[in-house]
Structure formats: structure tokens, C-alpha cells
Amino acid sequence: MIQVCSTCGTRWNVRDRRRDWCPRCNGTLLAPTSPDPSSQLRQAAGLGTPPSGRAHLPAGYRWIAVRPGAPPPPRRGRRILGPTPRYAFIPRWGLVDHFDQPDQQQTQGRPGPSTQMVRTTLIATMAVLGAAAFVHLVRYVLLIWNRTHLLNPWVAGAATWIGVAVSVVAIFMIVATAVVLTNWLIGRRAAAYAYRGKPDPRPVRTLRAGCLVPLVNLAWAPVFVIELAGVEERVNWLRRNIVVWWLVWVVSTAVSVLSIATSFATEPQGIADNTVTTTVAYLLALAGVLLVMKVFDGFERQPVEKPSKRWVIVPDDGSIAESRRQDESQNGAAVESEGQNPAA
């Protein structure tokens, strides 16, 4: 059973049930018993029968071919959202910034000196070593001058005692640097192992003995540093700096031992040779401290809590292929375009 809308002219297949209103424009549906729907449209529009006898639609109407089927469900109207919310004051629930504070237990639980303290100690030690090397260089120049000219006793005494004073200060600064760096290494190792959920395999007394005992620290202190780099997974970035520092430190220690062994000379040539050896030893010690600071900055450039290697979740090949098949099946299905009513 077909009924025609008197407003839009759409033919609706109402099957065996008569309807009164058009599902598309809510116009009046004509009676299904009329043999000529176009004549009903003309009669409804007040135009009458055309003189030529041919059935013509009135102006503004046209025939539309539609597929048979049930009428579309009625559209849902827009939900009433209610009045616009108003506030008597500026709401604060969306204007507050929340920042994640670092864990106070982790910050306070990390032993050892601070980064600023270690850096300050290293810079002061380098300054003292540079001053000691300069003083001994001036002393060597005065020794050369003294071969042909007589020095003033005050100048000779000042050159001698200033060199001794600077050497004593340099020794104290080297010892202080060794202690500070050892405490930093112990604290850094404890934090690195604790972050990975396991204790430091080496006890504290072993670390102190391996870093502070002379000549023993040449073999064990770099090993402890390499172990720390391995725990933090930074061996590839710090291996070269650690090896260069190790070699310079060994050479500096050898030259320092040689300068101490030749410091008891009483001949003018022996004193001059010892002065040159001591100057070179101080310069090598300065280079060693500079390389230690480079290694220290390599560790402190990145905190223990933020490792350079991070794990991300990546789907496997099976899930990717399955998701692609689902997308293809969804895109391949014929879907009726929205916004159009399935007419008869």
C-alpha cells in the first residue's frame, strides 16, 4: 500500500497499515485508494485536471525514486541543557596548579655531600694546585738567575717558604678532595642500588679503604666508579672519561713519588731538577682533578631517579595485525549515510 505526501510528494510504502502524517516533513498523507497520486496532488493544490490529459505535478513538486522499506525512526530532539551556570565569584577549582613534589624520604635519605660542595672543593683544589705550580716555576727561574747573580736573602727566603706553604696547602686540599669524592661515591652508589631495589654489594669500609689508602686507590677507586656507571647504564658515555682520568692519575702519582724521592737533594743541580719535577707533578695533579670533575659532571648531569634508558609499551605484531583487520572490516561494511530518511 502506497501513500503520497501532499507536501513533499514522497511516496511511502505503508504496507497494510494506513498512516496520516509524512515521516519526513510531517505533511498529510493522501488516501491509499486513489489510482492516480498526481491527480490527488493537483486537487489538493487546487489546480484541477490538466487540459492535455497528462498527469503533471504542480510547481515545486517532483518525483523521487525511493527504496521500499519501513519508515525511519523519528529523530530525537536536542536535549535541553538547562540554564547557563553562573557564579557569584570566580571558581577556584580549575585555576590551581598541582606540582609533584619529590619524595622527601628519597631526598633526605641520600647520604654524602651535596653537588655544590663537591664542585666547590674541586675548583678550590685546582686553584691551589695551579698556584703551587706557578710558585715552583718562579722558584726555578730564581734558581737559574742565582747561578750568575746573588739573590737577596729576603727574596730567596720568600721563594723557599712560600713554596713550602703552598705545597702544604695543596696536600691538605688533595686529601680533602679525596675524602669528599669518596663520600659522594658512597652516597651515589647507595642511591643507584636503592633505586633498583637492591643493596650495594660492597660495604662502606671497603669503599673507603679502596679510595683513601695511597697506591691502593689507584687500582680500586676507578673500579668502583666503573661499577657505578654500569649500574646506572652509562658505561658507553663515561668509559672514555674514566679511562683517561685513570691514566693521568697513575702518571701523576708516579711523578709525585719521584718528586718526593728527589726532594732531599742538596746539590744545586739536584734542587733544580726536583723543582722541575715538582712543577710537572702539580700540573699533572691539576689535570687529574680537572678530569675527575669531568667524570663527576657526567654522573650529576642526570639524576639517579631519571635514568637515561626508559622502557615504553609497544604492541606486538599480532595485536597490530588484528587491529588492522578490524579497521578494514568496519570500513568495508556498507553504511547508510546519516541525515537521510530511508523512504519507501
The three grid cell numbers given for residue 218, joined into one nine-digit string: 689507584
Q: What is the pLDDT of residue 34?
A: 46
| CA-wise closest residue to 185 among 309, 307, 305, 292 | 292
Quote the distance between the C-alpha of residue 45 and its chain's center.
Answer: 75
Question: pLDDT below 50 — which residues of the chain?
Answer: 33-35, 53, 106-107, 333-337, 344
Residue 148 confidence (pLDDT): 79
Cβ burial, residue 341 (10 Å; 0-12/13-18/19+): middle
Q: Domains of the chain: which residue ranges?
A: 1-50+57-74, 112-300
| Helical (H) or strand (E) element with 2 | strand 2-4
Give SS3 for 143. Answer: helix
What is the grid cell recorded at 209? Answer: 679503604
Tens of pLDDT, residues 94-117: 666 666 665 555 445 566 788 999
Asked whether the beta carbons of 181 and 216 are under 8 A apart, the reply is no
The answer to whether 25 and 51 are in contact (CB under 8 A) is no
Nearest to 9 by CA among 25, 20, 18: 25
Residue 35: per-residue pLDDT: 45
**Sequence-ordered list of residues with C-beta below 8 angstroms from that of 304, at least 6 positions apart, any chain:** 188, 191, 192, 195, 232
pLDDT at 204: 92
Tell me what pLDDT residue 110 has.
60
Express each pLDDT in 235-280 by its tens digit.
888 999 999 999 999 999 999 999 999 888 888 888 889 999 999 9
